[in-house]
Structure 1
Amino acid sequence: MASNCAPKRKGNLPPSRNLPRSSAYFALPSAAASRFLVVTLNEQPIPAYTLIDQPAQLAPLLAALDRVDEVALDTEADNMFHYRTRVCLLQFLVAGEIFLVDVLAPLPLAPLWEKLATKHLLMHGSDFDLRLLSDLCQFRPKSIFDTMLAAQLLNRQRIGLAALLEQHFGLILDKEGQKANWSNRPITKKLLDYAALDVWHLPALRDILTRELAQLDRLDWLDQQCGRQIESGMIGFPRDDENDWRIGRSERLRGRGLGVLHSVWHWREECARTLDVPPFKVCSADLLLDIAYAAEDGDSIEGILGKVNLGKRHARLVQSLATALREGFGRDPNTLPRRRRSETAPLSPQEIALQDRIKADRDRIAATLGLEGTLIANRSQLALIARDPAKVDDILLPWQADLLRSQPSMQPA
C-alpha cells in the first residue's frame, strides 16, 4: 500500500454538505496506550481495549493481524463538525482483542493498511467507511461481510447496528456516540467505550445472520452484494461539481432568483470553509431557496435581509450575505453554468409500459420472498432494463437478474 496512507488532512474529501463531516488539528494525547478494564453500560459488559496514539504502540496490532484472516472494522469521523471530513478513529477486533487507533495522531499507518488489505473484514454499513478509506489512502479490502446488507436480505425492519445489537444481545447503545465530535482530543472514556462496542459483537452478529441466510439459501446473494459494495466504495465520494448550487426546488427558478441562488450558495460555502463548519451550520438549504424565491418574486435586497436570521453568527455574516445578494441581483442568469443534458432520450410510451410490467413482476417476487422490492431492482435499474431487456445481466447482480429473467414481462413479445 502506498505511503500516502499516513495520517493527513483529507483535503481531497468533499465538503460536509455531501456527507452530513475537517481541518483544524487538536492537541493529541501523549500518554502511553490506555488499557481499560471491563465496566458496565446498560448492564452490558464493556470489553477491554487498547488505545493506540503513539507509533511504538502499533506493533501489537500489526502482530495480531499477522495471526488472523478476519478482522472486524469500524471508523469514526467528524462530518457533523467540520467543513471537510477526516477519519478520526479506527476500531479493530482482532482475535478477541480490540484496538482503537487514533488516526489524527502522528502514526505511520502504511504497514497497517498493507496488512489489512489481505484480510476478510466484518463491517456494518460499510459503504460510508469504504468511501472514507478509499479517499484517505486508496484502501481496498480483499472481501467483506456487511451485517447491514445481511439484515436487508433477511428483510429486517430495523437494520441499524444499534437496533440489531438490541434485538440479539439486549444491548442499548448510548446515542451520544452518533453525535459526538470525534476530532476532539483527548477522546473521552465514554466515547472509547462506545467505539469498542461497535466492533465487539460483530462476529457473533455475523454468525446469527449467516445461519438465517443459509436457511434461506441467500449467502451467495450476500457475497454478491458485498462485492458490489467494495466496487462502489472505491469510487469514493462525489467531487465538487459546477452545478452543486442547483438544490431542491431550484428547477422552478427562471430569472433573478437563479443568479441569487448561485451567489448565496457560494457565499454559504465560503463561510463554511472559513469557519470550518459544515455548510448546514451556516444556514439551511431551505433558507437559501427562500432567499432565491423572494428575489424571483421581486423582493428587494433590504426586504430580503430584513427577514433573514442567521442565528448566533448573524452579526458576523450578514454583511457578506448582503454583498452576495448584490452580486446575485446583478448576475445575468444566462451566464450561469448550465445543467448537463442527459445523453439518454426519455423512455418511449412502450418502454414506460414495459417498465411498469417489470416493476409489477418485481413487486410480486419481492412479496413472495419477503424482500424490499428495491433490493431486486431500483427505479433507475428498472428504467435501464425497460430500455434494453437484453442487458439485464449488465445492469443487475446475478441473483437479481435470475429472479427477473423468467418473469412474463421479460419474455420477448
Structure 2
Amino acid sequence: MEDLAAYRQAVAHIAAGHGPVAVDAERASGYRYSQRAYLIQVYRRGAGVFLLDPIAIRAEDADAFAALQAVIGDEEWVFHAASQDLPCLREVGLVPRRIFDTELGARLAGLSRVGLGAVVEELLGIHLAKEHSAADWSTRPLPQAWLVYAALDVELLVDLRDEMAERLERSGKAHIAEQEFAAVLTRVPKPPRAEPWRRLSGLHTLRGQRSLAIARALWQARDAYAQAADVAPGRTIPDSAIIAAAAANPSSKRELGAVKTFSGRASRSELDRWWAAVEEGRATTDLPSVRGTGEPSLPPPRAWSDRNPAADRRYKAARPAVVARAEELALPVENLLTPDTLRTLAWEPPSPVTPETVADALAALDARPWQIEETADRIAAAFVAAGQADEPGGESAS
C-alpha cells in the first residue's frame, strides 16, 4: 500500500484482528547504501496480510507508523530472524515490546536447518519458495510475483509460531526461548569499526604504507559517494578496483584510467573523484600502520599457549565441558554460550574461581540466567582443574 488513506484502513483492519502479529521487512541490501525498509509486511488472524510501502507512506506523513505502533505495540510480534528486521523497523517508529523469533526458536529446538523455507516445510509440511530473497526491493513498481512472495513470508508465521512454541514446550526449552527473545530486543549494537576500510577484500596483498594510504582514501571517497547516492558501495567500484589502483600507485589521472582492473559502473563517470582520492593518498603524511590499530580483542586461541599458557589451559579444559552440555541439551554450542564469552572469561577469570564468581562474571558479559545456570558450575570446575595442574605436584609440574 502506497496511499495514506489505504494505509489507515489497513491499520483499522489490523486493530480488529486478534492474536500475535507477524511482521517482516524487505530491504535492498547489495543495491542500496542504506538498510532502510522498502516493504513492510504485516499479518494478523482475522485481518489478513498487508504489504506497506514505508517510503511512500512516510513521504505523505513522516509519523504515519505511529498509528500502527499504537495498535500492535503491546502485542507479541512474530519474526523469522528478528535481529535482521528490528533496526529498519525502529527507523520508521515500529518497536515491539515482546517478540517470538521462529528462526531463533528453530536453533533452540535443535533443528538442523533454520531458514524460513526449511522450518516451514519441517513443521507445517508446506514448501515455501524463496526465489526473491535477494531482490532489489527498492524497485518501483514491485513485480506481482515479488508481492506474492512477500505476503507468504508472513502469512504462515503465526501458524509456525504456534507449532514452534509447542515443540519448545515439549522439550523443556520454553523458558530458554523466552529469555533469548527478550535478549534480542535489548541487545546493544556493536560500535563502528575504528578503521572500516581495512575490511577491503584483498588488502593483505598491498605492500607498504603508501599503498595502504591510497586504498584508504579511495575507500573513503567511495563510501561518501555511495552514501550520497544511496547505492551499495560495491556497485560503484568494487574492492578489486581499489586494490588494483592502490597497487599501481598511478602518477596521473590518465594512468589511473589505464589501470586495466580499475573497473565498475562509476570507474569512468567519476574518474575525477577517484583521482582526487589517489592524489590525497599519495600526498598524505598521515600514513596508516601496516598492521592497523586493531579492534579491541583477544589474541586467537592458537596463540594462547605462548601468550598466556594458564588461560590456554583454562580454555582447553572448559571448552569440551560446554560443548558436551550443549550436545546434552540438543543446542548449538554458540547458543548455549558464545565463543567470545568463554574466551574472555578464560583469559581473565574471576578470583577466586568459584561457581558463584564465575556466574557473576558471566552475567557481566551479558549471559542470560539460563546460560549461567547451565554453564557456571562446569566452567568453574574446569578452571579449577586447569589451575591445579599448575601447582606443585600437579600434572604440568616439572
TM-score range, shorter chain: 0.7 to 0.9
Residue of structure 2 in register with 1:122 after alignment: 78
Bigger drift between 201-210 and 367-376 goes to 367-376
Q: 1:257 to 1:379 in 2, by over 3 A?
A: farther
> Are residues 1:277 and 2:220 paired?
no
SS of corresponding position for 2:49: strand
Q: 1:317 to 1:211 in 2, by over 3 A?
A: same
> Are residues 1:409 and 2:363 paired?
no
SS of corresponding position for 2:182: helix
Following the alignment from structure 1 to structure 2, what is the Cα–Cα distance between the partners of residues 289 and 309?
9
> Are residues 1:228 and 2:187 paired?
no
Residue of structure 2 in register with 1:370 after alignment: 330
Residue of structure 2 in register with 1:322 after alignment: 275
Following the alignment from structure 2 to structure 1, what is the Cα–Cα distance between the partners of residues 182 and 213?
43
Residue of structure 2 in register with 1:33 after alignment: none
How much does 1:254 deviate?
4.7
> Are residues 1:94 and 2:64 paired?
no
SS of corresponding position for 2:55: coil
| Cα shift readout 1:135-170 (whole Å, capped 9, x = no counterpart) | 333x43111110000111122222111222233333
Bigger drift between 261-270 and 281-290 goes to 281-290
Letter in 1 for 2:321: D
Letter in 1 for 2:285: D
Following the alignment from structure 1 to structure 2, what is the Cα–Cα distance between the partners of residues 321 and 113?
44
How much does 1:131 deviate?
1.4
| Cα shift readout 1:283-333 (whole Å, capped 9, x = no counterpart) | 3334434443555xxx86638952323144433133432332222122224
- Of Structure 1 and Structure 2, which has the larger fraction of its residues in helix? 2
SS of corresponding position for 2:197: coil
Following the alignment from structure 1 to structure 2, what is the Cα–Cα distance between the partners of residues 315 and 84?
24
Q: 1:284 to 1:357 in 2, by over 3 A?
A: farther
SS of corresponding position for 1:310: coil
Q: 1:276 to 1:181 in 2, by over 3 A?
A: same
Instruction: Report if the CA contact (8 A) 2:214-2:246 is conserved.
Output: yes
Following the alignment from structure 2 to structure 1, what is the Cα–Cα distance between the partners of residues 382 and 15?
50
Identify which of 244, 268, 285 aligns with 1:332: 285
Following the alignment from structure 2 to structure 1, what is the Cα–Cα distance between the partners of residues 178 and 247?
48
> Are residues 1:103 and 2:54 paired?
yes
> Are residues 1:156 and 2:127 paired?
no
SS of corresponding position for 1:309: coil
Instruction: Report if the CA contact (8 A) 2:108-2:331 is conserved.
Output: yes
Letter in 1 for 2:95: R
How much does 1:122 deviate?
0.8
Q: 1:325 to 1:126 in 2, by over 3 A?
A: same
SS of corresponding position for 2:92: helix
Q: 1:335 to 1:201 in 2, by over 3 A?
A: closer
| Cα shift readout 1:81-119 (whole Å, capped 9, x = no counterpart) | 222232122111112411222212235221112222211
Q: 1:312 to 1:334 in 2, by over 3 A?
A: closer
How much does 1:256 deviate?
0.8
> Are residues 1:383 and 2:337 paired?
no
How much does 1:356 deviate?
2.1
Identify which of 185, 197, 219 aligns with 1:245: 197
Following the alignment from structure 1 to structure 2, what is the Cα–Cα distance between the partners of residues 304 and 360?
55
Q: 1:74 to 1:174 in 2, by over 3 A?
A: same
Following the alignment from structure 2 to structure 1, what is the Cα–Cα distance between the partners of residues 247 and 241?
10
Query: Number of aligned pairs?
Result: 355
Following the alignment from structure 1 to structure 2, what is the Cα–Cα distance between the partners of residues 285 and 292?
11
Moved over 4 A (4+): 235-239, 248-254, 343-347, 410-413
Instruction: Report if the CA contact (8 A) 1:259-1:332 is conserved.
Output: no
**Residue pairs, 1:115-194, within 5 angstroms:** 115-137=71-93, 139-167=94-122, 168-176=124-132, 178-194=133-149
Following the alignment from structure 1 to structure 2, what is the Cα–Cα distance between the partners of residues 404 and 236?
25
| Cα shift readout 1:32-87 (whole Å, capped 9, x = no counterpart) | xxxxxxxxxxxxxxxxxxx4633354134235325534211111122332222321
| Cα shift readout 1:195-247 (whole Å, capped 9, x = no counterpart) | 11011111221122222212211111111111111112xx46865x6622222
SS of corresponding position for 2:70: helix
Instruction: Report if the CA contact (8 A) 1:143-1:227 is conserved.
Output: yes
Question: Which has the larger Rg?
Answer: 2
Following the alignment from structure 2 to structure 1, what is the Cα–Cα distance between the partners of residues 376 and 189?
32
> Are residues 1:394 and 2:349 paired?
no
Identify which of 80, 83, 94 aligns with 2:33: 83
Q: 1:218 to 1:242 in 2, by over 3 A?
A: closer
Q: 1:236 to 1:87 in 2, by over 3 A?
A: farther
Residue identity over aligned pairs, in percent, reads: 23
Following the alignment from structure 2 to structure 1, what is the Cα–Cα distance between the partners of residues 213 and 18?
58
Q: CA RMSD in A?
A: 3.0
Residue of structure 2 in register with 1:266 after alignment: 220
Following the alignment from structure 1 to structure 2, what is the Cα–Cα distance between the partners of residues 286 and 306?
12
**Residue pairs, 1:9-28, within 5 angstroms:** none
Letter in 2 for 1:134: R
